[in-house]
Amino acid sequence: MTLTGFANPDEIRARFSRAMSAMYRAEVPLYGELLTLVADINRHALDSQPGLAEAMDQAGDLQRLADERHGAIRVGTAEELATLARLFAVMGMQPVGYYDLSPAGVPVHSTAFRAVHEDSLRISPFRVFTSLLRLELIEDAPLRALAAQLLASRQIFTPRALALIERHEQAGHLTHSEADEFVEQALETFRWHRQARVSQAQYDRLHAQHRLIADVVAFQGPHINHLTPRTLDIDSVQAQMPARGIAPKAVIEGPPRRQHAILLRQTSFKALEEAVVFTDPAGTISGSHSARFGEIEQRGVALTPKGRELYDRLLGQARASLNGVPAERDPQGYARLLEAAFSDFPDDLAQLRSQGLAWFRYRPTAQGLAKGIKGYDLEALVSDGDIAFEPIIYEDFLPVSAAGIFQSNLGGEPRIDYGSNANREQFEQALGRAVIDEMALYAQMQQRSLEACQTQLGGSFAS
């Protein structure tokens, strides 16, 4: 606790993330099993790869690892989304990026709430992938009306949570005891509700339109649908999951395995078929709903727009060479296609840097500090060993991967063709503000590290 009377937003976020994890662990026991597996494998990776722990420690990436996770929720209305943005702001989380999932047959668009500054990310990188249901993509008008009416009549925030959000906006901070209460109250929004707000018949109609619509509309709130720990070796976790009673999806989403991880690799598993109670008289009718799942991810270096373009192109190439056969049918074959396509992507930090494909954080070495250099150019300082560089970790998500995660957890139902309906403007209007461009954030991080080098070494250098 600090000496001031006010709670630090980064601390509130760290505590909220821990509280969410404890709640999800109690609700979804398989998540606890997954955490144990990931911790074992991370420890093994750190023990067996010389230099890894030190490199991660240097980058400020080691301390946050055990506590690192993202979650996901889905909301139904503009007001719910805008209020969530205000709730996350109390914890120093802002909306970053816009993701359109409609091309994958999922009627939502999304953003990720997260901290944006490296100092805050080091304290807690907790992120929440947040999707807004797009009722306008549902063609069945009576069903659309039912969904709209159900959404209009629910309140997903507790009165006290709303009061504390307002308090934070007016005062600019919360006291420690208000922050304690805020964490407790905010958590209520993400809790699972066994009692549905619809009859069995209504649930069936919503579900028949799209499982996701039933999930968003039929319940009291946007239950957290997964929490994802970060692993240092996703292939080992994937291989060891079955022995722990966890059946992962067949294919790891994202780039192939590499010497130097780029962006994000993810795999998920279906966690639960949950008992629910419908509103039919006397609550006699009960059924089940499956929404909540587990996921793991491995994060690597963030790519520049040029690197991202190359990634998108090579991924597209690998997928095109599947010739329409689902990757799940031959995971090994797909892994080979992916590796072949990505042989065109340099797998060497110096190359990634010199070709401008990835973002890096720079810092003066002991040698550089001892010399106290002035006026050299950055490349000379790097090649002389006066300045070192390390990868900036990717903090965001990937739309193609997210679509794969959505699809595998929605089950094998036929895909609805919503076409491509990106509408960032409409999303931002609902959100009540613009989303932040993630590339600008990475560029700022890199730039701040260069400026810190200049301050520490004395003088300035051309970059």
Instruction: Give me the residues that bind Ni ion (CB under 5 A), please.
Output: 72, 228, 295
CB 356, min distance to ligand OOG, A: 26
Number of Cβ within 10 Å of residue 419's Cβ equals: 8
The entry of ligand OOG, Ni ion, none near residue 185 (CB within 5 to 8 angstroms by kind) is: none
The entry of ligand OOG, Ni ion, none near residue 178 (CB within 5 to 8 angstroms by kind) is: none
What is the spatial distance between Cα 288 and Cα 204, in angstroms, rounded to a whole number?
A: 11
Q: Which is nearer to ligand OOG, 202 or 266 (CB)?
A: 266
- Output the six-digit token pair for 141: 């008008």
Using CB under 6 A, which of 8, 17, 202, 225 touches ligand OOG? 225
* Per-position DSSP letters for 375-443, written without gaps between them: S--HHHHHHTTSEEEEEPBP-S--HHHHHHHHHHHH-SPPPP-------HHHHHHHHTSPPBPHHHHHH
Is residue 397 a contact point for ligand OOG (CB under 6 A)? Answer: yes
Q: How many residues interact with ligand OOG (rule CB under 6 A)?
A: 12
Is residue 14 a contact point for ligand OOG (CB under 6 A)? Answer: no
Q: Which is nearer to Ni ion, 254 or 364 (CB)?
A: 254
The torsion angles phi and psi of 140, rounded to 5 degrees, stand at -70, 105
The entry of Ni ion, ligand OOG, none near residue 131 (CB within 5 to 8 angstroms by kind) is: ligand OOG
Q: Which is nearer to Ni ion, 294 or 368 (CB)?
A: 294
Q: Which is nearer to Ni ion, 72 or 224 (CB)?
A: 72
Is residue 131 a contact point for ligand OOG (CB under 6 A)? Answer: yes
Angle between helices 424-431 and 78-90 (to 10 degrees): 60
- Whole-number Cα distances in Å, 291 to 13, 112, 203, 243, 294: 25, 19, 14, 23, 10
Using CB under 6 A, which of 24, 126, 129, 362 touches ligand OOG? 129
Site for ligand OOG in 51-80 (CB under 6 A): 72, 74
Q: Which is nearer to ligand OOG, 73 or 183 (CB)?
A: 73
* Per-position DSSP letters for 80-118, written without gaps between them: HHHHHHHHHHHTT-EEEEEEE-GGGT--EEEEEEE--SH
Is the separation of the CB atoms in 73 and 93 below 8 Å? no
Is the separation of the CB atoms in 229 and 38 below 8 Å? yes
- Output the six-digit token pair for 249: 């999806």
Q: Which is nearer to Ni ion, 234 or 381 (CB)?
A: 234
Is residue 111 a contact point for ligand OOG (CB under 6 A)? Answer: no
Q: Which is nearer to ligand OOG, 91 or 227 (CB)?
A: 227
CB 129, min distance to Ni ion, A: 5
Is residue 237 a contact point for ligand OOG (CB under 6 A)? Answer: no
Query: The tokens 């989303």 sit on which residue?
Result: 435
Closest residue (Cβ) to ligand OOG?
Answer: 402
Is residue 132 a contact point for ligand OOG (CB under 6 A)? Answer: no
Q: Which is nearer to ligand OOG, 338 or 405 (CB)?
A: 405
CB 172, min distance to ligand OOG, A: 32
The torsion angles phi and psi of 439, rounded to 5 degrees, stand at -65, -35
Is residue 206 a contact point for ligand OOG (CB under 6 A)? Answer: no
* 253 burial via Cβ count (<10 Å: 0-12, 13-18, 19+): buried
Using CB under 6 A, which of 42, 102, 266, 407 touches ligand OOG? 266
Residue ranges in contact with ligand OOG by CB under 6 A: 72, 74, 129, 131, 225, 266, 295, 397, 401-402, 405-406
